[in-house]
Amino acid sequence: MTPRLRLQPEAIGLGMTSQRVRDRLIERLRGNGIADERVLNAIRTVPRHLFVDEALATRAYEDTALPIGHGQTISQPWVVAKMTETLLAGLPPRPPSGSIAAPARVLEIGTGSGYQAAILAALGLEVHTVERIGELLRVARKRFRALGLNVRSKHDDGRIGWSGNGPFDGILVTAAAPALVEALTEQLAPGGVLVAPVGGGGGQVLVRLRKGADGAIERTELAPVVFVPLLSGLID
């Protein structure tokens, strides 16, 4: 007997997580100024719906932040795209392709759902990520494993960085602090780039910090943003 054909919404292309829905998000990001095709491709490829609760999966390809529990959020895709694009553009130049070169080493503070780290890993970067809420980190690690992504992670207060694994060519901070965290700028390699939301109740701005080969710091403000706060202390 032939099995009855069950038409899953996914199979007929009407699913809220279908390629068509994802492509719409890519066009929206493009319209809002994201131009780096590598970033757009990573966002097209990494299944954001697997980084949120099943109940929210149908909203995963809207350009909006979504709750991930513990009072935290997965960042808005445009913000992920903007931070990733800024990071890639600021990374020190790599040796010519064909040579045996280590990938750029990047550090993310605030693993959350794991989505931003997954985007960085999909881009071929060597990703290190730190999260203070143990339960979020456990779930994110399962996602990395399920997707075959190689991400190094640790349960810690990211305000101290990850000195044993540094210095880093790039650092992304995905939670806002009133000022740039000194331990993190110290773990940035010469020629490296750090992208972080800075500010408190009065509003936050996305800041790019470049460290010259001579150690000189150049700071640029990119766009107003809204992030959850960078907090101290660990939670199981």
Residues with catalytic function? 75
Tell me: does residue 73 bind ligand SAH (CB under 6 A): yes
If binding is defined by CB under 6 A, does position 125 make contact with ligand SAH? no
* CB burial of residue 18 (10 Å; 0-12, 13-18, 19+): middle
Residue 122 is encoded by which pair of tokens?
């999909």
CB-nearer residue toward ligand SAH: 11 or 64: 64
Q: Which is nearer to ligand SAH, 113 or 204 (CB)?
A: 113
Using the rule CB under 6 A, give the single segment among 16-24, 106-114, 142-150, 203-211 that binds ligand SAH. 106-114
Among 17, 72, 84, 153, binds ligand SAH (CB under 6 A): 72
Please tell me the distance from the alpha carbon of residue 205 to that of residue 203, in angstroms, as a whole number: 7
The region of 22-30, 39-47, 153-161, 217-225 touching ligand SAH under the rule CB under 6 A is 153-161
**162-191 footprint of ligand SAH as x/- string (CB under 6 A):** ------------xx----------------
Q: Which one of 109, 120, 188, 189 is in contact with ligand SAH (CB under 6 A)?
A: 109
Binding flag, residue 110, ligand SAH (CB under 6 A): yes
Q: Are strands 105-109 and 168-173 parallel, antiparallel or unpaired?
A: parallel
Helix or strand or coil: residue 133? strand
- In this chain, which of 42, 74, 125, 151 binds ligand SAH, going by CB under 6 A? 74
The tokens of 173 are what? 């901070």
Closer to ligand SAH at the Cβ: 150 or 212? 150
Write out the DSSP string of 192-221: EEEEEEEEETTEEEEEEEEE-TTS-EEEEE
Find the part of the chain contacting ligand SAH (CB under 6 A) among 29-37, 193-201, 213-221, 223-231: 223-231
Could you say whether residue 133 binds ligand SAH (CB under 6 A)? Answer: yes
Query: Please, what's the b/e burial string for 157-184 (b: 16 or more CB within 10 A of its CB; e: otherwise)?
Result: ebbebbeeebbbbbbbbbbbbeeebeeb
Helices (H) and strands (E) in the chain, counts: 6, 9
Q: Are 62 and 55 in contact (CB under 8 A)?
A: no
Q: Tell me the C-alpha distance between 80 and 115, whole Å.
A: 9
Q: Residues interacting with ligand SAH, by CB under 6 A? A: 72-75, 109-110, 112-113, 115-116, 130-133, 136, 157-159, 174-175, 228, 230-232
